[in-house]
Structure 1
Amino acid sequence: MTIQFPQDATPFIASSRNILRSHGIEVTIGSNFEKYSEIIREERKVQNLGAPFNHELQDLQKSDSFWLIGRNERGELIHTQAAKKVPLGGKSLAGHLLRNFRDFPPPIPGVQLSQSRFRATPGAHNIHGHVVYHGEVWMAPEEGRYRGVGLSTVLARTGLLEVLRRWDPDYIYGFMLRTVAFKGFAERMGYMHNEPGALKWAIAGRDKPIEAFLTWLSREDARFLLDIPVEELVSQAA
Structure 2
Amino acid sequence: MSIHYPRLGQKSRRLLDQITLNHGPREQLGHFFLAADKAARDRGITLELSTDFELLREVNRMNLKHWYGLPPTFDSHYSGIDASKGFWLIGRNDDGEIISTQAAHMFDLSDSNLGEAIESLKLFYADPASMRHDGESCTINAPSATQIKGRVVYSGCTWIHPDYRRRHMAVILPRISRALAYTKWDADYTISFVSTKLVEMGVAAAYGYQRVEPAMDWYNSPVGPHYQGTLVWMPQAEMLTDMARFDALLEEAEEKQHRKPDTAEQRPVTN
TM-score (norm 2): 0.73
Gaps of 5+ in 1: 105-111
Where does 1:129-208 land on structure 2 (aligned, <5 Å)? Answer: 129-142=150-163, 146-196=164-214, 198-202=215-219
**Aligned counterparts of 1:93 and 1:113: Cα–Cα separation in 2:** 23
State whether residues 135 and 220 of structure 2, in contact with CA within 8 Å, keep that contact through their aligned partners in structure 1: no
Distance 1:203 1:94, change over 3 A: closer
Shift of 1:40: 2.3
Q: Distance in 1 between matches of 2:153 and 2:123?
A: 17
1:223 aligns with 2:240: yes
Secondary structure of 1:166's match?
helix
Instruction: Give the one of 95, 98, 106 matched to 2:119.
Output: 98
Cα deviation, 1:121-169, whole Å, max 9, x if unaligned, reads 1211211111111121112223xxx333422111221111111121011
Q: Per-residue displacement from partner, 1:90-146 (whole Å, max 9, x unpaired)? A: 112122222227828xxxxxxx8736542231211211111111121112223xxx3
Other structure's SS at 2:109 match: coil
Kindly report which structure 2 residues correspond to 1:69-148, keeping only aligned pairs within 5 A, or say none.
69-88=90-109, 90-100=111-121, 103=124, 114=135, 117-142=138-163, 146-148=164-166
Q: 2:75 aligns with which of 54, 77, 83?
A: 54
Answer yes or no: is 1:36 the counterpart of 2:56: yes
Partner Cα distance (1:122, 1:7) in 2: 36
Residue type of the partner of 2:156?
A: G
- For 1:113 and 1:161, the matched residues in 2 are separated by 37
In terms of fraction of residues, the more helix-rich structure is 2
Equivalenced residues, count: 224
Q: Which amino acid aligns with 2:170?
A: S
Cα deviation for residue 69 of structure 1 reads 1.6
Deviation (angstroms), 1:214 = 0.7
Confirm whether residue 65 of structure 1 aligns to residue 101 of structure 2: no
Moved over 6 A (4+): none
Aligned 8 A contact 1:135 1:174 in 2: yes
User: In the TM superposition, what is the alpha-carbon distance from 1:25 to its structure 2 partner?
Assistant: 0.5
- Percent identity of paired positions between Structure 1 and Structure 2: 27
- TM-score (structure 1 length as normaliser): 0.83
**Distance in 2 of aligned mates of 1:6 and 1:14:** 12
